[in-house]
Chains A and B, each alone.
Chain A
Amino acid sequence: MPFLEVHPIQYLKTGYLVVAMFVLLGVLFSVVLFMLLYLLARKKREKQKERWHQPVDLLIRRAIFFEESPDRMQIPITPGVSRWLKRSYFRQFLLDEMITAKKSFSGNAAENLVRLYNQLRLERLSLTKLSSLKWHIRARCIQELAAMDQKDQVGKIYRLTNHPNEFIRMEAQSAIVHFYGFEGLRFLDVVSQPISEWQQIQLLAQLPKTLGAGLKGMESWLKSSNSSVISFALKLARIHRRFELHDAVAGCLDHHNPAVRIQALKCLQDICNETTATLIIGRYEKNDRLYRIAALETLQCMGPESAEQQIGFLQKELLNEDDTIKLATARVLATVSGRGTQSLDDFEKAGEYPWNEIIRQAKGEQTKSGKAA
């Protein structure tokens, strides 16, 4: 007699298992079928896009080279395009192509593309998306409106610059900066949501390379309760060399957020004056390792005059137990020809490891950068 009358697995009725298996196979065949139909549909759509591509390309070219005259107020539209315009899929395709083209042009050509957008009333397509409940559709809509310079919609877009959804907020901020340049940054006065490093890079890329008279309110941004606004203002002050903000920037060295303190150091590197080195080193002891390394790197970049003021402090830091700090210190001293390099040579442990290797590297780098200059 077997020690087990009925195998536990036997409780799984064969019939049920077979039914379950066929259900799985049914789902499986449905998925395969769906996939094949989807591939077919996509192929058809791609062919359709290929068919549309030439007339759309022609229309965009016509728009780019369009010149208004009393008898020719509108960009001519071919009957084929007019017919297809009734289809929302085509309108979106056309809009995408226009946006791609607009990114490559400026001046009259870009203005003509906006004229075409307005002429075809494509803003209606964009605006229907602005009221969508889906964040990605709204974000896409804002991007379209910005790309097509729809300043009429600025009221609606501005309200979204502090939206809880980061993607809607990012697109709205970018759009406002796209419309108004530095003046568009006024949303920084009120924004309470964080501006990510990614978004800061995007905004900086959109701003004009030269400052002009448009940048106002930086002093208040440097005192903002939003740390990311301070970080952004510090980047702006650095890029545009706002020397008059030196004291306000130096004030950020005492900010509670370490990232702001590091950013302030980077900024001071480019707007320094004769007091900067003392201000930076004055806060050295009470800060952490990251600040200390960044402070020494800042000192290195500020030039030999600043470093020379701190030779005594630097000689002391050569004895720091952290090798990264030793190396950063040696690099600063190596920038000061005369007293600095002499102090490296005269350093009591210059012949011992690791100082011997550190000093050799610092001097080698300085020689190389001197040659490159």
Chain B
Amino acid sequence: MSWQQIIFGFFSYGILLYSLVLLAFYLFIALFAIGEIRHYLWANRFTDYRVLAVSSNAPGMSILAPAYNEAATVVENVRSLLSIHYNNLEVIIINDGSKDESLQKLIAEYDLHKVDFFVQERVATKKVRGVYKSANPVFHKLIVVDKENGGKADALNVGINIAGKPYIVCIDVDCILEQDALLKMAKPFLEEKGYRVIASGGVVRIANSCLIRNGRLEKVNLPDRFLPRVQTLEYIRAFLLGRMAWSRMNGLLLISGAFGAFEKEIVIACGGYNHKTVGEDMELVVRMRRYMEERKEPYKVTYIPDPLCWTEAPVSYKILGRQRNRWTRGTIETLRFHKIMFLNPRYRLLGMLSYPYWLFFELLAPIVEFAGIAGLLLSALFGFLNWSVFFALLGFIVSFGFLYSIFAILMEVLTYNQYKQSKDILRLVLTAILEPVLFHPFVVWSAIRGNIDLLRKKNSWGEMTRQGFVVKKNP
């Protein structure tokens, strides 16, 4: 057997084995998620969250919302945050050196005044220029911090230094939170399970085409345009299946930066958000887990399947490409920072399963997929492989992906059923059919571009232009 044969055989059998393990993982995740969602729904079916909203024993929560050049929407977004049902709450808006009139608009709208405030630098940050509070008692929960520009992670770290409550909830300021979002997020921290809940994530859903009135979600609609709609499907798949299954195993590595709650003392003990990565949300969760593992303290990172946070998805391939490129770079950086955990039994499930899964099946998947398809295509073109086998294999893989999407839609229908009309469900099914052609190849390509950009030391965040929600004002 020649060396070419050995390499070729290794490549081909490797791809085959990789695909089989990946399919097995998907199957396992889909089935394993069912138990977790079912348990959550049963356990919370009769929960009266209103009790917590008014209780003097409810744990204190600080919402941290970094804002950069959000002048157009910041006033409305803050109003939305202040209307959330939770008594023991403070809302901290961190103006990350905006070049527009964000701060001036907030000062004028909420009657803000600069106050004497000692900012204890428990996590190192850029300079804080001032802390503002409202003279109007109606807005007593609001704190606005003005600081030098330092990026999202730095802004969140300032928020951590300012926060006076034991739990922090980090959100994107332009997200729409459900009114009872914090009540639901607080519950896992209050349950006695024999371990410490260090972080809790909430499901993020796509708000494009939804109706928003006065900063509140009024009507859920399936996005009209293909690109946000296919991301709706993608989010359902990721949140209802992937994250719930990993949460059940206590192997979650990622809580979305758009909405996550953390125990503040652990965050500080870990050093806060890392501003050297564009994937600061994932990196923080991994670092917190690593911290707990190294101290051998029992802990859990939980996930709530309720749709609690709504965000606007990119509507153009250009913006989507930047987002996916950034996600890829963030994942690579995070895994690189914590490479000591890879297959390290000291980190138990985290090192032996979560980390390898993310490395092989999240990070390397686009590369393997690209290389695999290109390799098979070339093999077929040069006559090493029958076209019939090529197409049959492609058909099998696409069918499996399609089935996985349909299963996710079924779970959505059986659980939260946000899209009430049958025609919406059929549109989602149709979207799942089109996804392998119109969406997936682009996502794979963006991820590969992310790898290339990282090699070229490109570490920009990538501008995210938003179109804005369908807003309905009160008459």
Contacts and interface: CB of A to CB of B under 8 A. Distances in A.
Contacts of A18: 392, 395
Given A4-B384, A8-B8, A43-B422, 9 more contacts: A7-B385, A34-B410, A196-B191, A200-B57, A228-B192, A327-B120, A354-B118, A357-B117, A360-B118
A280 interface: no
Contacts of A204: 55, 57
B25 interface: no
Given A9-B12, A323-B118, A143 B46 contact: yes
A202 interface: yes
Contact of A8 (B13, B48, B120): B13
A351 B204 CA distance: 48
For A7, A202, A357, the residue with the greatest tally of chain B CB atoms inside 10 Å of its CB is A7
Interface stretch (A24-32, A81-89, A183-191, A336-344): A24-32
A71 B12 CA distance: 88
A363 B115 CA distance: 11
Interface stretch (B238-246, B355-363, B398-406, B452-460): B398-406
B388 interface: yes
B116 A361 contact: yes
29 contacts: A3-B5, A3-B8, A7-B12, A8-B9, A9-B393, A10-B389, A14-B388, A17-B389, A20-B396, A21-B395, A28-B406, A32-B429, A34-B410, A36-B422, A38-B413, A167-B42, A197-B59, A198-B192, A200-B57, A201-B55, A202-B48, A205-B51, A205-B55, A323-B120, A354-B118, A358-B118, A363-B116, A364-B116, A372-B137
B109 to A, nearest CB: 21
A163 to B, nearest CB: 14
A194 interface: yes
Given A28-B406, A31-B406, A357-B116, A7 B52 contact: no
Contacts of A27: 403
A24 B403 contact: yes
Contacts of A17: 389, 392-393, 395-396
B78 interface: no
Contacts of A372: 137
A26 to B, nearest CB: 10
B191 A21 contact: no
A135 B9 CA distance: 53
Interface in A28-66: 28, 31-32, 34-36, 38-40, 43
Cβ-closest 7 pairs across A and B:
A196-B192, A17-B392, A136-B42, A8-B12, A198-B190, A197-B190, A357-B118
Interface string A191-231: 00011111111101100000000000000000000001000
A20 B395 CA distance: 10
A235 interface: yes
A18 B16 CA distance: 17
A167 B43 contact: yes
Please indicate which of the listed interface residues B45, B384, B385 has the most CB atoms of chain A within 10 Å of its own CB: B384
B180 to A, nearest CB: 15
A108 interface: no
Contacts of B187: 198
A14 B393 CA distance: 8
B383 interface: yes
Interface in B362-386: 376, 379, 382-386
Contacts of B379: 7, 9
B430 to A, nearest CB: 11
B301 interface: no
Interface in A154-181: 166-167
A28 B403 contact: yes
B407 interface: yes
Given A21-B396, A25-B399, A136-B43, A35 B190 contact: no
Contact of B393 (A2, A12, A34): A12
A167 B191 CA distance: 11
Nearest to B389: A14
Contacts of A2: 382-384
A25 B400 CA distance: 8
A35 B383 CA distance: 43
Q: How large is the interface on B (under 10, 10 to 19, 20 to 34, 35 or more residues)?
A: 35 or more
Interface of B: 2, 4-5, 8-9, 12-13, 16, 42-43, 45-46, 48, 51-52, 55, 57-59, 115-118, 120, 122, 137, 187, 190-192, 376, 379, 382-386, 388-389, 392-393, 395-396, 399-400, 402-403, 406-407, 409-410, 413-414, 422, 425, 429
A115 interface: no
B414 A38 contact: yes
Contact of B392 (A14, A34, A135, A354): A14
A140 B118 contact: no
Which residue, A9, A10, A143, has most C-beta atoms of chain B within 10 A? A9
A363 B407 CA distance: 60
A24 B429 CA distance: 15
A324 interface: yes
A195 B383 CA distance: 69
A199 B137 CA distance: 32
Contact of A28 (B2, B46, B399): B399
Contacts of A201: 51-52, 55, 57-58, 190
Contact of A35 (B45, B46, B400, B409): B409
Nearest to A103: B48
B8 A4 contact: yes
Q: Identify which of A24, A31, A372 gathers the most chain B CB atoms within 10 Å of its CB.
A: A24
A32 B5 CA distance: 44
Nearest to A27: B403
Which of B2, B55, B399, B422 has the most chain A CB atoms closer than 10 A to its own CB? Answer: B399
Contact of A360 (B45, B57, B116, B429): B116
A24 B4 contact: no
A202 B51 contact: yes
A196 B399 contact: no
A10 B8 CA distance: 13
Nearest to B39: A136
Contacts of B385: 7, 9-10
A140 B395 contact: no
Interface in A358-373: 358, 360-361, 363-364, 372
A14 B386 contact: yes
Contacts of A21: 392, 395-396, 399
B52 to A, nearest CB: 6
Contact of A39 (B13, B16, B58, B425): B425
Contacts of B376: 9
A262 to B, nearest CB: 11
B373 to A, nearest CB: 12
B143 to A, nearest CB: 13
B4 A4 contact: yes
Nearest to A194: B192
Contacts of A143: 46
A269 B296 CA distance: 35
Nearest to B3: A3
Contacts of A10: 385-386, 389
Contacts of B410: 31, 34-35
A198 B52 CA distance: 8
Contacts of A9: 12, 16, 376, 379, 385, 389, 393
